[in-house]
Structure 1
Amino acid sequence: MRKPRDYDAELEALEEKAKVLKTRRVQQLGELVIATRADAFSAEELAGALIVLAETTDTGKREA
């Protein structure tokens, strides 16, 4: 006979794993911003640059 699954425990484990991944993602983004010296720009300037970069299809401009 199969052992019944504890769905609540599995759900809690997945929620904890998701929380850790979200925290790590935010931390890595902060490290990237600091490493590229992008912390000298405002959030609006960074968002605008990312939007322009996402819309650019020219690889030469993307790498610059």
Structure 2
Amino acid sequence: MRKPRDYDSELKALEDKARELKTRKVQQLGELVIATGADSLSTEELAGALVAIAENKEAGRREAWAKRGAAFFQGRARRSASTPDRNAGGAPTQPGGAQPASGSTGAA
């Protein structure tokens, strides 16, 4: 006879994993805001800009933003590769952080 499944513990494990993923996403978005210098904006300015971007449906404009973002990450990767101790004063970066792999696109 098979051992019965413990649905409660499986559900708890899935909830814990979902909470961990959400926490990681929030942290990465915060790191992205800081890396781009957008942390110097007021909360209202940043929220307004993000709302405008999210509402924009123009494919050409969104593609231009994606290219600019990719260039930002590629330039940042080159700078950080040439200065490995650049992050000495800040929080350590995590693998799979806010920087997507070269050539990848998409939202978090």
C-alpha RMSD of matched pairs (Å) = 1.9
Distance 1:34 1:7 in 2: 41
TM-score by length of 1: 0.82
Counterpart in the other structure of 1:34: 34
- Structure richer in helix, relative to its length: 1
> Residue 7 of structure 1 corresponds to which residue in structure 2?
7
Task: Give the structure 2 partner of residue 59 of structure 1.
Answer: 60
Q: Which has the higher contact order (CA 8 A, sep 6+)?
A: 2
CA deviation vs aligned residue, 1:26-49 (integer Å, no higher than 9, x gap)? 110110001110000011101111
Structure 2 spans left out of the alignment, 5+ residues? 69-108
Query: Structure 1: which 5+ runs fail to align?
Result: none
Q: Percent identity over the alignment?
A: 66
Q: TM-score, normalised by structure 2?
A: 0.52
Alignment: residue pair count: 64
Spell out structure 1 runs of 4+ moving beyond 4 A: none
